[in-house]
Chain A
Amino acid sequence: GQQVMQIPQYQHVQEGEDFTTYCNSSTTLSNIQWYKQRPGGHPVFLIQLVKSGEVKKQKRLTFQFGEAKKNSSLHITATQTTDVGTYFCAGCFYDYKLSFGAGTTVTVRA
């Protein structure tokens, strides 16, 4: 089926360190979106990647879309306590169906 796999499920990071979360699809995606959900909150849109090989940056966050449009990554540098939450990727397939990854839950040690 059309599913997006996301790893790791949990990421415990020392404040100031970097980390990366990865998403993979077995099928080519139309686009991929990233969301952040704070504890007790709702998912909030971060960014959408559409083009093959696309790279976008938002301050300390770098998003990449693979050349084959089957994988994506989110890299956060110099992690801060405000980065705590769960990061989801959502793959959009060409039949409009969306598949959310399981999410990477990030905790930060001060």
Chain B
Amino acid sequence: DSGVTQTPKHLITATGQRVTLRCSPRSGDLSVYWYQQSLDQGLQFLIQYYNGEERAKGNILERFSAQQFPDLHSELNLSSLELGDSALYFCASSPPPSTDTQYFGPGTRLTVL
């Protein structure tokens, strides 16, 4: 158990819908990262937050957005869902000061039908 929690564990929805994935980092960790893992594209870095502020952006689509709240939990919002958005979405956290060891959560498996 890494100490990072993600909810829900599984999510099944239809194309065109919007979903929110939630992540709680390890106690004391200020950084939160979001990743998408699909079979054909490996592990893709989406976005990083540090203490509530966006720090780095990767291959995140405009239909996706994220935020980190004052209590440091984070949410990833996926809208206008497409079949190709079906994937495992991982959240990871790391302790300050910045990009050190990342602890991954168990992931949310999103299926878009």
Q: A residues bordering B, Cβ < 8 Å?
A: 30-31, 33, 35, 42-45, 48, 88, 90, 92, 95-103
Please state if B105 and A103 are interface contacts (CB–CB under 8 Å).
no
Please state if A95 and B56 are interface contacts (CB–CB under 8 Å).
yes
In this assembly, does B44 line the interface, its C-beta being within 8 Å of a C-beta of chain A? yes
Please state if A100 and B56 are interface contacts (CB–CB under 8 Å).
no
Chain B interface secondary structure, helix, strand, loop or mixed? strand
Please state if B55 and A98 are interface contacts (CB–CB under 8 Å).
no
Please state if B90 and A43 are interface contacts (CB–CB under 8 Å).
yes
**Smallest CB separation, A90 vs chain B (Å):** 8
Give the 4 A-B CB pairs with smallest separation, nearest first.
A96-B56, A42-B104, A100-B43, A102-B42
Total number of B residues with any Cβ neighbor in A under 8 Å: 24
Instruction: State the total of A-B contacts with C-beta under 8 angstroms.
Output: 56
Please state if B55 and A45 are interface contacts (CB–CB under 8 Å).
no
Please state if A88 and B43 are interface contacts (CB–CB under 8 Å).
yes
Nearest residue, chain A, Cβ from B92: A43
Please state if A45 and B45 are interface contacts (CB–CB under 8 Å).
no
Nearest residue, chain A, Cβ from B31: A96
Please state if A42 and B107 are interface contacts (CB–CB under 8 Å).
yes
